[in-house]
């Protein structure tokens, strides 16, 4: 873990603690001023009411989820990839903006064979594969066509490029 991860975790911890203190103060105030707070809605009760509703009506949640998935295929794909990276214990993240910048750097071409990429053929390739200790930072990411990414498999970018050159 590097310094930026440590500072991020410290900031996150501080924010969580502040939120807990704020919630405790609000609850304490509400309990001591119930008559004055008639319009106030207790967030814990609201959450509990929502939980009960979702338990009684699971089909509504499924329908909402399916509708979101249908309307947001790109976001769904990104979430699935993030889940996979997290499961691989990969450190680092990159934003959609960084990915688009990386695509522009490569002129929307495959980093290995140079073919033109479009939304159907582009894949995110880890130059040092996650399975070999690579990170998920943008510096380790390159755009690749599906064919090259599949052929590369768990090789590093250098290994795959030397394999491509020797086959020519």
List helix spans (H) across the chain: 3-32, 43-56, 58-71, 73-87, 96-105, 146-152, 157-167
Confidence (pLDDT) at 25? 87
Confidence (pLDDT) at 5? 64
**pTM for the model:** 0.57
Confidence (pLDDT) at 41? 73
What residues does CATH 1.10.30.50 cover in the chain? 90-167
Confidence (pLDDT) at 87? 83
> Rounded CA gap, 68 and 71, in Å?
5
Domain made up of 90-167: CATH architecture: Orthogonal Bundle (1.10)
Tens digit of pLDDT at every position of the chain (168 positions)? 566 667 777 777 788 888 888 888 888 887 887 777 666 677 888 899 889 999 999 999 899 999 999 998 888 888 888 888 888 888 988 888 898 999 999 999 999 999 999 888 899 999 999 888 899 999 999 999 999 999 999 999 999 999 888 877
Sign of CA dihedral 98, 105, 79, 69: positive
DSSP 8-state code for residue 159: H
């Amino acid at each position: 873990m590097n310094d930026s991860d440590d500072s991020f975790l410290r900031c996150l911890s501080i924010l969580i603690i502040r939120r807990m203190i704020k919630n405790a103060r609000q609850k304490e105030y509400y309990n001591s001023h119930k008559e004055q707070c008639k319009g106030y809605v207790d967030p814990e009760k609201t959450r509990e009411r929502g939980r009960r509703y979702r338990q009684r009506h699971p089909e509504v949640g499924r329908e909402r989820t399916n509708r979101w998935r249908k309307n947001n295929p790109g976001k769904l794909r990104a979430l699935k990839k993030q889940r996979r990276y997290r499961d691989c214990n990969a450190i680092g993240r990159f934003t959609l903006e960084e990915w688009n910048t990386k695509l522009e750097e490569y002129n929307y071409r495959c980093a290995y064979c140079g073919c033109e990429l479009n939304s159907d053929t582009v894949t995110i390739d880890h130059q040092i594969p996650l399975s070999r200790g690579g990170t998920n930072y943008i510096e380790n990411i390159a755009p690749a066509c599906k064919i090259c990414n599949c052929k590369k498999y768990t090789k590093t970018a250098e290994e795959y490029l030397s394999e491509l050159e020797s086959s020519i």
